Amino acid sequence: MTRSIITKAILALTISLSLLLAQTANPKAPAPKGQKEADAIMAMFQAQDPDARIAAANNLITKFSETEYKATALYIAAFSYQQKNDMENMVVFAEKCLEADPKFFGAQIMIATGLASRTKEFDLDKEEKLGRAEKLAKAALELIPTATKPNPQIPDDQWASAKKDFAAQAHEALGLSALVRKKYDVCSDEFKFSVDNASTPDPAVMLRLASCQIKVNKLDEALANVDKALADPNAHPQVKSAATQLKMDINKAKAAAK
């Protein structure tokens, strides 16, 4: 099987995964160097659960150290660790992904979100972690507009929507960082951008937006976002519970302001 045929086979296999995996502004499309490497790549894409994907990604990197899919494999591993709620390994593999491809904005957003979401107000290294989170999120926002379609079969409007989703994720990371710093006007703007631009807004982000809006006395807007979170059929029960409590708090604040 020729190199071009192998590459086309992999592209055909990964069409549904392309928007998730190819979050890089690197214009060079990766290609396998032989059938064995192609098989290892396909095994990684076909893996059915996080542990299997991690194992397949490590297998590819170990057996084919010069593979052009190294950054993608490392990102898949990072994403899989994120699914397992293993944030430490998520950051480790996302950092390795950036070493392999400095323009992999998906890894930048992943690290930024991980750092910002795990940093607490009184952490001694708070400013160091939040500063890096903000730097990476802003770097991603600079790269996203220049990113080209990872697969020519992806419709232009779908790719444009995907890039809006990527930007929404970067702004969410900036909102998380501002929230730790108690910059409520900033986090309100950042979370609002994320909610407004995501193709499927996250109810949890809606609640963070509402919480920031309460702090800047935008009670009606906060209430509207809480109601959207409550109406979302895919919202986690914990999110709905938090939304119910937040709605009570907003109504109390509105009553007290009369």
C-alpha closest to that of 150 among 105, 110, 194: 105
Q: Is the pLDDT of residue 104 over 90?
A: yes
240 vs 74: CA distance, rounded Å: 34
**Contact between 242 and 249 (Cβ < 8 Å):** no
pLDDT confidence band for 17 (50 / 70 / 90): low
Instruction: Judge whether 161 and 149 are in contact, CB under 8 Å.
Output: no
Residue 61, CA distances (Å) to 31, 76, 214 in order: 14, 12, 48
Rounded Cα–Cα distance for residues 190 and 103 (Å): 23
pLDDT for 99 beyond 60: yes
227 domain-assigned: yes
253 in a structural domain: yes
For residue 72, is it within any domain? no
Lowest mean pLDDT among 24-28, 116-120, 188-192: 24-28
Decide if 239 is inside a domain. Answer: yes
Q: Is residue 166 in a domain?
A: no
* Percentage of the residues of the chain whose pLDDT score is greater than 90: 74
User: Can you give the pLDDT at residue 253?
Assistant: 87
Angle among Cα 204, 189, 136 to the nearest 5 degrees reads 80
**pLDDT over 60 at 124, yes or no:** yes
Cα 102 from chain centroid?
A: 16
CA distance 105 to 114: 14
Residue 210 lies in a domain: yes
| Buried b or exposed e, range 142-162, using 16+ CB within 10 angstroms | ebbeebebbbeeeeeeebeeb
6 has pLDDT over 60: no
Backbone torsions φ then ψ of 133, nearest 5 degrees: -60, -45
How many domains is the chain built from?
Answer: 1
Res. 178: pLDDT tops 60: yes
3-class DSSP string for 26-79 = CCCCCCCCCHHHHHHHHHHHHCCCHHHHHHHHHHHHHHCCCCCCHHHHHHHHHH
Domain that holds residue 250: 202-257
pTM for the structure as a whole: 0.88
- pLDDT mean over 113-128: 94
Q: Which of 19, 25, 162, 20 is nearest to 104 (CA)?
A: 25
Dist. CA 236–CA 233, nearest whole Å: 9
Domain-embedded: residue 151 = no
- The reply to whether 59 falls in a domain is no
Taking the C-alpha atoms of residue 2 and residue 186, their distance in angstroms, rounded to an integer, is 53
- Nearest residue to 128 via CA among 118, 142, 139: 118
Convert the pLDDT of each residue in 193-223 to its tens digit.
999 999 999 999 999 999 999 999 999 999 9
Tokens 């299997």 -> residue? 52
